[in-house]
Structure 1
Amino acid sequence: MALQNAQIPVQIHLHDLPEALLLQIFASIEPTRARNSASLVCRRWRDLERRTRPSLSLRGNPFTTPYPPFPFPRFPSLSSLDLSNLSPWGRVPSHTPLLVGPTLPISFPAVTDLTLYSRDPTALISLTHHWPKMKQVKLVRWHNRPSGADIGSDLSPLFENCTEIEEVDLSEFYCWTEDVTEAVSRHSLVARNLMGLDLMLANATDGFRASELISISEACPNLRRLSAPCAFNPRYIDFINDATLLRIATNCPHLTTLHLVDTTPITLNNNPGPANNLQENNPSTITPTGLESLFSSLPLLTDFSLDLSHPILEAGPALESLGQRRASLIKNLKLGNFQGVCIGKWLHLDGVSVCGGLESLCLKNCGDVSDGSLAAIARGCTRLSKFELIGCDLVTELGIKKLALGLRRTLKEFCVSRCGLVSAPALVKALKPLRGRLERLHLDGVWTQPEAKKVNVLERQSDVGEHGVLGENNDLNGLCEPRSKRSRHRYEEDVELSFGDTTTVNGECSQWHYYQSWDNLRELSLWLPAGEFLSPLLEIGLDDCPNMSSIIIKVEGNCRAKPDPHTFGMNFLSIFPNLSKMKLDLGEAIGYAFTAPFGQMDLSLWERFYLHGIGELLSLQELDYWPPQDREVNQRTLSLPAAGLIQGCYNLRKLFIHGTAHEHFMRFFLQMMHLRDVQLREDYYPAPEDDMSTEMRDESCRRFELALNSRRVLD
């Protein structure tokens, strides 16, 4: 009898676990869809999920039905709340003030991180006094600044009600630079607590002047992170120079992150040759001596970005001082228009290659960076996991191969853009040592090999290896090639290494091999000129990406002079089984919006060219789409062929259209049974104040959202 009782299975349910253990289990669930599914199982699971949810992003129109529904659910542990996607964005009707005011604080009492679309100060006034313990706030606005508003009124409610604020993010907020300066100066006691300011204002054209940055740094002495667009051009009044940077460092000595970007359009030619004389006659107002003083005044600096329109000449010694003093502290560097970043000659390391603790490096428009420079960076910066090379016209396939070979154990993100001597096939070929390592990759869709340019004697000397000649017992500088076979502009391999080849790195032998597939590649980014096809992407060696889940395609150029194409080749992407997210940016593709001359295509036909075959991507779930534009009439709208082709994406769940649309075109999307979230954004330029969100007026937008939300979604 006892034996029979022992064989009876004991029924143990998940609910038999202690409450504290169940809370830990639900708190460990990170995917949003998994949390939403768990909350639908039973009421207890719903309560547990709400008690442990750390963040939430609300979408939809909150003015059609009460949102959140009554009785108000409570999320006691929720600290991060995103309200920037509620539409109509920032519009608060006068007859529903209680919806925006007390309702949300009742449901989310512990919010400390808020993202809000602040079309005018009304939303901040309604919300901030309910959350006085707010620590981080990000404001979003792509509508024009309210006319007649006082300077600084957009930020004053935030500083008046949230006295413990530490982080303010205005990177997607359209306002004036004087608004920030006035608000910070007016609330000096709150500004002293600020530790982070991201002032990369949306559509910033002028940038902050010297007096404005100095005023902000004086009001915020405890800043740890500062990002801002700046006016470095000496033709402007009150431009930023060495003295300004030194004042900022003196006022904010605890800075760990400093990002400064020049907003002046780049008009100088950065290519090697006669244009260098023009650059030398127009140097930057920032000098290497000033940079050394800046670095010595910021002992905690770990992340530095300086992107300029005018060149800094002979910047190598300043970067060496940065690496020698704090080689282990500096982690991220972005250098725009720096000359002499790394010469890369002989045995010693110079310039940026001295910064051995770097984990991320971006070189933009550095005209004298060559293959030898990349070899030196690979030898010196052995911890690099992210590397970007933009507008460096002396770099060839051989230099990228040296870099890939030297960083094959650490590099995970790689970007090569606007480098005149590197085509997409050459880049993919040079990245063979990294095929099994890279997680993110960007390349330009230049499918044909560019012509080699003449190289002067100084550039050839920069490619000399460690032992004085290229390729003597040093794979980083010669890849074990015979001296007789080396060539400065060779694009075909003289010696092809295969599986199990033995190489020598710094005198030590090691076994390594080339990976055949891109096993870890998660995100692929492409830039393509207008009229180019996507099909060569698979022919150059990117056809085996089993885990790629996201792709970004940006098309740029004038479509008006292009011949009538057949198809872009979107259906070729169906070979990637896990491709679930796509960003298709045609915003810089220019054409005729309404009537095209005889023999030329209008924009609707170009949209058909690019979107044809997108319905064959069965795994696609999210799509960000920027329609092409006609600048003469300032129109970017969704056409009828585009709406019909996007409708073919049966499994699409999220659709973001960055442009205008007609209501009857949007009705096509109601037939997509899995579609749950549709947004129409005019974030490509400041939208007019009387425009709600799109070419659809307020009532049309409301009717569409009501029809979308009233459908029964399968899951």
Structure 2
Amino acid sequence: MATTTTINDLPDAILINAFALISDTRTRNSLSLTCRRFLLLERTTRVSLTLRGNARDLFMIPQRFRSVTRLDLSLLSPWGHALLFSSSCDPKLIAHNLGRAFPSVTSLTVYSRSPSILEVLIPQWPGLRHVKLVRWHQRPQIPQGSDFTPLFEQCSSLTSLDLSEFYYWTEDLPPVLQAYPATSASLTKLNLLTKSFSEGFKSSEIQDITKACPNLTHLLIACMFDPRYVGFVGEEALLSVPNNCPKLTLLHLADTTSLGSTRGNPDHDGYTSEDARISHVTLVEFFSGLPLIEELVLDVCKNVRDSGLALEVLGSKCPKLRVLKLGQFHSVCMAAGSTLDGVALCQGLESLSIKNSADLDDMRLIEIGRGCGRLKRFEVIGCKRITVKGVRTLACLLSKSLVEVKISSCINLDAAATLRALEPLRDRIERLHIDCLWGGSLGEEGEGTGEGVCDFDPNEVGEFQNGYEMDFEDTRKKKKCKYSSEAEEKAEAEFNYLYMESNGNRFWCKSWERLRYLSLWIAVGELLTPLPTVGLEDCPNLEEIRIQVEGDCRERQRLSNRTLGFGLSTLAQYPQLSKMQLDCSDAIGFALTAPSGQMDLSLWERFFLTGIGNLSLNELDYWPPQDQDVNQRSLSLPAAGLLAECHSLRKLFIHGTAHEHFMNFLLRITNLRDVQLREDYYPAPENDMSTEMRVDSCCRFEDALNDLISRPIPD
């Protein structure tokens, strides 16, 4: 009698390899429900795990994840409270239970509100190699360096330390690095881009850190380049980085003012009042000392003028360079002839970001497109001289490689103009960021003509035979520069090739076929409604969207009763949209009481969230608007009611606080399984208000959420 062979008949060795290739958590969990054998194999092959349960229930953790090497404890609820010390059990007993359940951990992420947490946890895994500390609450009154001493004392094999989400004082770290030279010398990755710093690391501190960690390959550090402050980062500190750490392959040096999420002023001329104290000679020496560098970020936020020659040295001395981000660098290339110069000579680049370059114009943009032919990712931020023509030509030159684009704070590029310029990439681009500036009235084809937008004028420029305007004769006359015939022929060939592929249609492709991720910036009071009409009407595979709302609600007029809402229901036309990040944290207003004629934030939240129930979202991250005067970011009653209409939600992360009875609205969502409140902004409130979400309130909500009798799991 013939027998049927199934996957269950495969040997364990083959099935283990098959399970190891599956990274999606829900897929792995679904497979583990198939049979007991699959359950055991899944638990055996799991190497990464994030615990989201309540700290009081840690004694209930499973004991079969013996192979987990990466453990994340930073999201345990109640979020932000002292881990292990918020439950009634003995902290040492719970820590011992964690160590026994996950004996193979080498990478740990934990919310370390006080040093006592590390003192209890670290002995469980003395072989830790990577540690990420998280803390948004204010630094407790403890001796200098106490936050790091337990870690450096007991983890002699530590190779990676991430403090990007950990608030501390800059003077805390250097003494500890110097006190434990063996552990410091073993570090190869150090992330100090802490967003909550008001001032970055000073010059002497950077020198001490790099001297103590000579084997670093990855260094990310928040600096202070402003020469008006004592201890600003100048030439000496800059040169100490490659001199002390010659093995660097990744280096981020960013001014603290660049770490915020707020959008720059597009009307600004691009020059700051002060120049950075960094000479061309120093830049050349700095670049020459980084022969192994692959990723470099220099966001100085102070003028670095005439940087083209130094960037040529960067291209010749750093052949492995693939990622480059420049902030406040001017004259990155000259476009003075057919010969490439400046950053255009960094021809191995795959990612390039240029921010606040005051003299970057279309001709320089085109030179970058000619020289950097391997670019997969391109960002241009705060460059007021570029127009549709430059971006469109760049898109043609890079149409074979470019898959990710970000264009922001460029006065000549509103939403319609940006999308029109990116037409050659419609069928290729995967990730996109634009500013939702609608400009003037919409044309017949949904093309906005905003103020200051440079449209094509047939009276001023020539036309290619296929109807695409792309002749730069007038521009060449003004600039007194001329492109080689090879460059013009290449551009024309790109246009003709793309035109043939589009079968003669005016657009290369109507559909954004490969677009998976869309990021939007929009001002307070503006609507999302025009988004499809300006060129994003067809995004069949769009899965994730991030919307950042910014502005002062107090400066806006009172919303009209006829205004139905922000326009989220417009996004319902994207069939695959399942993840959303709605960030209103930079929308500020009155949270508690509003003067006569002003709106409080609860009414603004109703405006922002109206229509969200029409979307089939699976995951939602929501940052409520805030009142900076009282340091409050809290979910309002209208917001809770509107979020309860999202019946398809499975994960909901609210980056703020909420009243307990508001949270009970969310129990109506049948599929909801993972809810978190996170006060991940600095400074997080030290003590929850009496009417806000408390530990007991959070526990009661979680019990109701996980009650399988009243809320059975559909899947």
The code of the aligned residue for 1:56 comes to: L
Name the TM-score, length of structure 1 as normaliser. 0.89
Equivalence for 1:494: none
Name the TM-score, length of structure 2 as normaliser. 0.89
The code of the aligned residue for 1:295 comes to: F
**Contact 2:540 2:575 (8 Å CA) reproduced:** yes
**Are residues 1:67 and 2:60 paired?**
yes
**Are residues 1:651 and 2:618 paired?**
no
Equivalence for 1:161: 154
The code of the aligned residue for 1:539 comes to: T
Equivalence for 2:425: 434
Equivalence for 2:635: 638
Q: What is the CA distance between 1:508 and its match in structure 2?
A: 5.9
Equivalence for 2:570: 572
The one of 4, 28, 46 equivalent to 1:11 is 4
Q: Deviations over 1:223-261 (max 9, x none)?
A: 111111111111221221111111221111111111111
Following superposition of structure 1 onto structure 2, how do residues 217-616 of structure 1 map, counting pairs within 5 Å?
A: 217-264=210-257, 279=272, 282-326=274-318, 328-448=319-439, 449-452=449-452, 480-481=470-471, 483=473, 504-505=489-490, 511-513=497-499, 514-560=508-554, 561-565=556-560, 566=563, 567-616=565-614
**Contact 2:524 2:587 (8 Å CA) reproduced:** yes
Q: Secondary structure at the match of 1:333?
A: strand
Q: What is the CA distance between 1:551 and its match in structure 2?
A: 0.4
Q: What is the CA distance between 1:562 and its match in structure 2?
A: 2.4
Q: Secondary structure at the match of 2:50?
A: strand
The root-mean-square deviation of aligned C-alpha atoms, in Å, is: 2.7
Q: Deviations over 1:673-702 (max 9, x none)?
A: 211111111112222444499931221122
Tell me: CA distance 1:693–1:304, structure 2 relative to 1, closer, same or farther (3 Å). Answer: farther
**Contact 1:564 1:600 (8 Å CA) reproduced:** no
Q: What is the CA distance between 1:474 and its match in structure 2?
A: 13
**Aligned-partner Cα distance in 1 for 2:390–2:491:** 17
Q: Deviations over 1:484-513 (max 9, x none)?
A: 89999xxxxxxxxxxxxxx94168676224
Q: Where do 5+ consecutive residues of structure 1 fail to align?
A: 1-7, 455-468, 489-502
Q: What is the CA distance between 1:578 and its match in structure 2?
A: 0.9
Q: Deviations over 1:437-485 (max 9, x none)?
A: 111100001000443399xxxxxxxxxxxxxx9879999xx95448589
**Are residues 1:112 and 2:101 paired?**
no
Tell me: CA distance 1:598–1:97, structure 2 relative to 1, closer, same or farther (3 Å). Answer: closer
The one of 177, 180, 195 equivalent to 1:184 is 177
**Contact 2:542 2:576 (8 Å CA) reproduced:** yes
Q: Secondary structure at the match of 2:59?
A: coil
Q: Secondary structure at the match of 2:238?
A: helix
Equivalence for 1:3: none
Q: Secondary structure at the match of 1:511?
A: helix
Equivalence for 1:617: 615
The code of the aligned residue for 2:662 comes to: F
Q: What is the CA distance between 1:305 and its match in structure 2?
A: 0.7
Tell me: CA distance 1:66–1:130, structure 2 relative to 1, closer, same or farther (3 Å). Answer: closer
**Contact 2:223 2:254 (8 Å CA) reproduced:** yes
Q: Secondary structure at the match of 2:186?
A: coil
Tell me: CA distance 1:693–1:660, structure 2 relative to 1, closer, same or farther (3 Å). Answer: farther
- The answer to which of 652-661 and 596-605 deviates more is 596-605
The code of the aligned residue for 2:97 comes to: T
Tell me: CA distance 1:556–1:442, structure 2 relative to 1, closer, same or farther (3 Å). Answer: same
Q: What is the CA distance between 1:139 and its match in structure 2?
A: 0.9
The code of the aligned residue for 1:581 comes to: K
Q: Where do 5+ consecutive residues of structure 2 fail to align?
A: 440-448, 455-459, 479-487, 500-507
Q: What is the CA distance between 1:36 and its match in structure 2?
A: 0.8
Q: State percent identity of aligned pairs.
A: 49
**Are residues 1:136 and 2:126 paired?**
no
**Aligned-partner Cα distance in 1 for 2:429–2:635:** 35
Q: Deviations over 1:28-74 (max 9, x none)?
A: 22211011111222222111001111211110203046230xxx422
Following superposition of structure 1 onto structure 2, how do residues 15-94 of structure 1 map, counting pairs within 5 Å?
A: 15-64=8-57, 66-68=59-61, 72-88=62-78, 89=80, 90-93=82-85
**Aligned-partner Cα distance in 2 for 1:693–1:92:** 23
**Contact 1:527 1:555 (8 Å CA) reproduced:** yes
The code of the aligned residue for 1:80 comes to: R
Q: What is the CA distance between 1:373 and its match in structure 2?
A: 1.0
Q: What is the CA distance between 1:709 and its match in structure 2?
A: 2.3
- The answer to which of 551-560 and 406-415 deviates more is 551-560
**Aligned-partner Cα distance in 2 for 1:133–1:305:** 32
**Aligned-partner Cα distance in 2 for 1:308–1:693:** 43
**Aligned-partner Cα distance in 1 for 2:610–2:464:** 52
The one of 658, 670, 673 equivalent to 1:673 is 670
Q: Secondary structure at the match of 1:505?
A: helix
Equivalence for 1:463: none
**Contact 1:590 1:629 (8 Å CA) reproduced:** yes
The code of the aligned residue for 2:547 comes to: I
Q: What is the CA distance between 1:293 and its match in structure 2?
A: 0.5
Q: What is the CA distance between 1:515 and its match in structure 2?
A: 1.8
Tell me: CA distance 1:474–1:183, structure 2 relative to 1, closer, same or farther (3 Å). Answer: farther
**Aligned-partner Cα distance in 2 for 1:47–1:693:** 45
**Are residues 1:629 and 2:621 paired?**
no
Q: Deviations over 1:264-316 (max 9, x none)?
A: 5899x98799x67x74x621112222111111112111111111221011111
**Aligned-partner Cα distance in 1 for 2:692–2:324:** 42
Q: What is the CA distance between 1:517 and its match in structure 2?
A: 0.5
**Aligned-partner Cα distance in 2 for 1:375–1:683:** 41
**Contact 1:165 1:190 (8 Å CA) reproduced:** yes
Q: What is the CA distance between 1:22 and its match in structure 2?
A: 1.6
Q: Deviations over 1:384-443 (max 9, x none)?
A: 001111100001111110111111010111000100111100010111100011111000
Q: What is the CA distance between 1:538 and its match in structure 2?
A: 0.6
The code of the aligned residue for 1:577 comes to: P
**Aligned-partner Cα distance in 1 for 2:336–2:607:** 49
**Aligned-partner Cα distance in 2 for 1:623–1:442:** 19
Q: What is the CA distance between 1:664 and its match in structure 2?
A: 0.3
**Contact 2:411 2:453 (8 Å CA) reproduced:** no
Equivalence for 2:700: 703
**Contact 2:578 2:618 (8 Å CA) reproduced:** yes
Q: What is the CA distance between 1:121 and its match in structure 2?
A: 1.7
**Contact 1:680 1:693 (8 Å CA) reproduced:** no
Q: Secondary structure at the match of 1:357?
A: coil
Q: Secondary structure at the match of 1:667?
A: helix
Tell me: CA distance 1:611–1:690, structure 2 relative to 1, closer, same or farther (3 Å). Answer: closer
**Aligned-partner Cα distance in 2 for 1:694–1:170:** 32
The code of the aligned residue for 2:649 comes to: L
Equivalence for 1:498: none
Q: What is the CA distance between 1:599 and its match in structure 2?
A: 4.0
